[in-house]
Structure 1
Amino acid sequence: MAGHRSPGGRRVTGDPAPHRVPTRHAARHATAPGRVAPRRTVASTTAAVGAAFGVLSTGTFAAVTSTGVPAIADAAETSTAATQLAANSEALQVDPADVPLTGAHLSPVAYSVAGIDDPGPAEADPETITDVELASLDKAGRIADRIAEQQAKEAAEAAARAELDALISRGGVDGWIAQALEICDLPRDLAPGVKKIIMAESGGNPRAINLWDSNARAGRPSQGLMQVIPSTFRAYVHPSLSGRAITDPVANITAGVRYMIANYGLDTLEAGGRSNGSGGYVGY
């Protein structure tokens, strides 16, 4: 069996005696009854920061001194410090509304969605509607009425235009009269009077020629629907139709209508020409 030497140099054989702590050292390390043996720990700077935020579940507390060297506290001191820290942490809670803003002060902005957050005039309490709002409603109503009237007028004009186009396309006396009045920019309600004159003068025949009256005997016979002589036709035909013949139905009507208005007035044309005391037709 291997041996070893004693401190005095003598070899000792067999199992050495168990190591014993000297009495004076044992007394120093003894724990008094009722006292907890302190657990020594050195906290790093990171642990100290964590303990400052209340991480105290280990039962120890490490604080950082002004020199940066961690100070050591036992469990009892840690418990007391933890209680104080918890109390202080509650006292340090600050309402953000109490903290003044630095720099530019911001003001709250209110948003409103039309038709959702803001009731419209129809939803408002009638007793709370102001005079301005009432005026606005009245103005909007009048604008809507004018728009409706304009649309109705345009629809009527479109219908009249379609009717006139259909009449002109069919031709005949009514179609020719309608086209001639349109060219002369005269109202369509003159058509009955014009037709009465035409039927009295030519019977509705655009090629009719008078060979027996004074004009015929003078060598300038009356011609066409309204029986105008060549000089009258040239003087009164609508300028846009001046290149047409005297027997052209539309050109002839424009010449006769304009001559009658210039010499006898619009009322005579509307009445269907001149008449005698008994109401009979008198030529022009």
Structure 2
Amino acid sequence: MRSNHSGYTRLTKAHKFAAAGVTTAAAAGVVLGVVPAATAATHAPVKPVAWNAEAFGQTQDAELAKAADAAATQAKTDAQAKVKAAADRGAQAASRAQARTALKPAAAKPAAPAPKAYGDNLDGWITQALDIMKAKNIPGSYEGIKRNVMRESTGNPHAINDWDVNAVNGVPSKGLLQIIDPTFKAYHVDGTSWDIYDPVANIVASCNYAADKYGSMDNVNSAY
């Protein structure tokens, strides 16, 4: 800046730029410094959140636990689905098996064994009597029975003694082994006839009596 003789101060180009800078700075100060209250409140600075390693770890643990629970639930659901599928397959297989069984012809039941046949003669009577005696645990043999039958009646199932002491007393000996009525009734064996002249019933009752008195008909060698 310099003075001239006219009495006024003359601004140089440098002074003008400086003055312009001051003016611009002042204007900027006015613009930047004056902030409405509402704007200041709206754009309040955000307080930074402090890093918490423990809280972060707990969050991670919770997420992992949640994921594990979800995986366990899915595994349980899958297992239940497999079990149900297996059960369904088993039920279907059983149903098919039942259907096949229903289509098969019914197997014929085995025929009941035919009753043992015995001859209507002395051999058949003794054989049948021995089978009954075996079932009832009455001792005796084929030979012992036949020997006594032949001595007592010669094999006649209707033989009757009308002359011995029993006959005199009104209870004559009867049948193959010449047994009297009271003895026949006392030693009768269930499953046989009550007819004293029935050859099988007569043999079994007589052998039952002989077993009681002598141990077995095999031990009888004379009148008994």
TM-score (structure 1 length as normaliser): 0.36
| Greater C-alpha Rg | 2
Greater relative contact order: 1 or 2 (C-alpha under 8 angstroms, separation 6 or more)? 2
